[in-house]
Amino acid sequence: MVKLYALTVLYKSPPSTTTLKAAYDVESFSFFQKNSIKEFMCFVSKTIVERTQTCARQSVKEGEYMCHVYVRADNLAAVLISDHEYPRRVAHTLITKVMEEFMAKHPPSTWPVLKEVTTDFPQINMYLAKYQNPVDADALTKMQNDLDETKIILVRINNYIVPLLFAKKFLSDLFDYLKYPFVHIYRTIQTNRRSRHVHISHEKVSQKCQ
């Protein structure tokens, strides 16, 4: 099952990078690990943004995590940390959407002075929760999933129902083939009976005439 751990919006202002807002899902970790996991993901997010060129996207493997990053021309950046199974296209769709909404609420002129603790952007938590299941959150993924299910159904029909139909046709043909001799015998018996009856009747008529 796919999993998202962190979604972060950052401002890249060389030589440093500032976290503007972040959301985390560390419920799968123990109570004693949660803070250290958050600090680790915050550090990784900043580091990967600093190492990513402007106007560039990339997905970088970091141990058991996958870090999806996008740095725009205006130096606004976003990082999504997921497991290795999470769809990359959906990940980059999400960070692009989050950055657009962030800019709509906070214009570029405010980015150099924004502080994470005071930045108002609750949507980031909503998106991290919503995109935990990419099938429900992303229309194209849902469409692909529906197509895959349709393919599975068609394969099952082809593998099971079609052979049964051919088997039914085969049995029907076999029955027709096997019943033919019996029908022929039955018709022969009936013909012989009628011929015998006619012969007997003819003999009786002949006896009366005598």
Q: Is there a domain that residue 207 lies in?
A: no
Q: Is there a domain that residue 194 lies in?
A: no
pLDDT tens, position by position, for the chain (210 residues)? 789 999 999 999 988 899 999 999 999 899 999 999 999 999 999 999 999 999 999 999 999 999 999 999 999 999 999 999 999 999 999 999 999 999 999 999 999 999 999 999 999 999 999 999 998 876 555 555 555 555 555 555 556 655 666 666 666 665 665 555 655 555 666 666 666 655 545 554 444 445
Q: Is the dihedral of CA 111, 122, 100, 11 positive or negative?
A: positive
CA distance 79 to 4: 11
Q: Is there a domain that residue 12 lies in?
A: yes
The strand ranges marked E within 44-195 are 56-62, 65-71, 76-82
Q: Is there a domain that residue 144 lies in?
A: yes
- Domain count along the chain: 1
Q: Is there a domain that residue 200 lies in?
A: no
Instruction: Tell me the whole-structure pTM to 2 decimals.
Output: 0.68
Q: Is there a domain that residue 111 lies in?
A: yes
Which residues fall within 8 angstroms of residue 46, CB to CB, at 6 or more apart? 10, 17, 19
CA distance 168 to 71: 62
Q: For residue 62, list its beta bridge partners.
A: 65
User: What's 83's domain CATH number?
Assistant: 3.30.450.50
CA distance 54 to 120: 25
Residue ranges making up the domain that contains 79: 4-162
Q: How many CA atoms lie within 13 A of 140 on its CB side?
A: 7
Q: Is there a domain that residue 182 lies in?
A: no
Q: Is there a domain that residue 184 lies in?
A: no
Can the peptide bond before residue 134 be classed as cis, meaning omega within 30 degrees of 0? no
